[in-house]
Amino acid sequence: METIRPLLISLVLVLNGVEILGEDGVLVLDYYKETCPLAEEIVSRNVEIAVLRDPRMAASLLRLHFHDCFVMGCDASVLLDNYGDIVSEKQAVPNLNSLRGFEVIDGIKYLLEEACPLTVSCADILAMAARDAVASRGGRRWEVWLGRKDSIKASFDGANQFIPAPNSSLESLIASFKEQGLDIEDLVALSGSHTFGKARCSSFRQRVYDINIEEKYDRYKRYRAFRRSLQSICPDSGRDNAIAPLDFETPAKFDNRYYINLLEGKGLLGSDNVLVTEDHEGEIRELVWAFASNQELFLTSFADSVVKMGNINVLTGIEGEIRKNCRFVNP
């Protein structure tokens, strides 16, 4: 049965529109079983340590994987520093002074190079670390398909163009995800990553001070207390780097509270709230209700969508390389 299980998983993913790529272009389970048998354990243990030291790091590591995959694919281009002709994606507007966790990835890569030189790619480390980060905060632990290679270039322009902005409209979010081969269910499920972590004032100021019609005529003052709490953190000018939890109720736990918050008008980012306020046909609101009322459904859907996202434009076989240092291409 154990030998059949990976084949069944692969069939399910293919039927759901997920392209599984490994050697000769196919990602596989247990890719490092022979070449670096302790790879997943090394990643898992060090993510656990990093999150114990800084609980916010769990969300940061998941976000690294997301920001990597949405620019040229899941190829660790987001980890490259400025060097030679490379202009780092870290300098792009969505990432500058915002992305965290690079030192954690560096530490994991160092240990993997000690154990198995030039074997485990930085792109695979990001995928495994995202899984372990979610699991460390109560989320589901999914099986990661491995065998990605690392890009030898970065895309500063791509990072500015393809990573959704915190004030995105619903229409632009749907278009952005569609560009990556992700559908509406993926959009709603992956938005649930905002169930933990924090955001800077500059990311949610517009949401705080632009009052929509529903709130303007809110005779029962359902939104006023929440708005005032946000205003106390984020004034209409200054304090751009002040931070607030994406989920005020269970900020360090990976659960379905994010969707309950949306239904209560308490999403932190503009791009969160539009899932409900701009869904005129009701399809997305229906998914939000489903995830809000069934945590297991959300956790399963999230895991499926992350696996799907993790297969965006991956490099395999003779494409790319295995970087010795995740910050630089090999000499």
Burial of 180 (0-12, 13-18, 19+ CB in 10 A): middle
pLDDT of residue 16: 45
Confidence of residue 23 (pLDDT cuts 50, 70, 90): very low
pLDDT of residue 115: 97
User: Is the CB of residue 233 less than 8 Å from the CB of residue 244?
Assistant: yes
Q: Which two structure tokens, joined as six digits, stand for 120?
A: 């485990």
Rounded-to-integer distance, Cα 187 and Cα 189, Å:
6
The pLDDT tens digits for 222-236 are 677 888 888 999 998
User: Distances from the Cα of 68 to the Cαs of 39, 63, 88, 326, in angstroms?
Assistant: 21, 8, 12, 13
Confidence of residue 147 (pLDDT cuts 50, 70, 90): very high
Containing 199, the helix (H) or strand (E) segment is strand 198-200
Higher pLDDT, 8 or 198: 198
67 in catalytic set: yes
The pLDDT tens digits for 102-123 are 999 999 999 999 999 999 999 9
Mean pLDDT within 12-24: 45
Q: What mean pLDDT, rounded, does the chain reach?
A: 90
Catalytic residue among 65, 67, 194, 280: 67
Higher pLDDT, 26 or 86: 86
pLDDT of residue 6: 43
User: Is the CB of residue 121 less than 8 Å from the CB of residue 68?
Assistant: no
pLDDT of residue 329: 98
pLDDT of residue 263: 93
